[in-house]
């Protein structure tokens, strides 16, 4: 004789609650990856307010650009995620210290009749560079993997930081 199977326990949560709660880890994971970037930039913005009072804008921007590149050098070694978070936080801490003084000097030194064109060109180049960088990164990632991609990106950032810093630190006396 076959005994009837026990009735399954009734769920206390409603289907609506489980539908809402289930995708939260999927949604939170990408947001958690953005946390060090946003937090570093936010804290850097607060620090920039104090730093611009103590240092000339181009000197601040040049030194911050060098400091931005340094923590990124851990990325090609594929460290544990807490190390990546700290590296990204520290790197993005310096971005407001680069961008604020750079844009201020660019705006202040550009003649009025050229300012709109110069700012449009700067924004256009920046807007075009991001998707082109993603396209190139995708090709490198697909062919050679994440370690070469990180190594190339960090090396490129370091070279650009050195060139930028050399230029602005050499011309800082014109401030």
pLDDT in tens, the chain (175 residues): 555 555 555 545 444 444 444 454 555 566 666 788 888 999 999 999 899 889 988 899 999 999 999 999 999 999 998 899 999 999 999 999 999 888 888 899 999 999 999 999 999 998 999 899 999 999 999 999 999 999 999 999 999 999 999 998 887 555 4
Rounded distance between C-alpha atoms, residue 115 and residue 104, angstroms: 12
50-56: long-range pairs with CB below 8 Å, 24+: 51/97, 52/100, 52/101, 56/172, 56/175
pTM of structure: 0.75
């Amino acid at each position: 004789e076959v005994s009837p199977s026990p009735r399954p326990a009734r769920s206390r949560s409603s289907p609506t609650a489980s539908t809402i709660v289930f995708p939260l880890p999927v949604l939170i994971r990408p947001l958690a990856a953005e946390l060090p970037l946003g937090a570093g930039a936010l804290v850097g913005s607060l620090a920039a307010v104090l730093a611009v009072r103590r240092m000339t804008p181009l000197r601040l921007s040049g030194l911050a650009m060098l400091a931005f590149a340094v923590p990124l050098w851990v990325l090609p070694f594929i460290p544990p995620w807490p190390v990546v978070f700290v590296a990204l936080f520290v790197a993005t801490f310096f971005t407001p210290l680069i961008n604020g003084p750079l844009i201020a000097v660019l705006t202040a030194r550009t003649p009025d009749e050229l300012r709109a064109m110069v700012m449009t060109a700067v924004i256009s180049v920046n807007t075009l560079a991001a998707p082109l960088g993603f396209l190139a990164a995708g090709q490198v990632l697909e062919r050679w993997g994440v370690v070469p991609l990180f190594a190339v990106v960090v090396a490129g950032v370091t070279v650009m930081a050195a060139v930028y810093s050399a230029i602005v630190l050499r011309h800082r006396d014109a401030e």
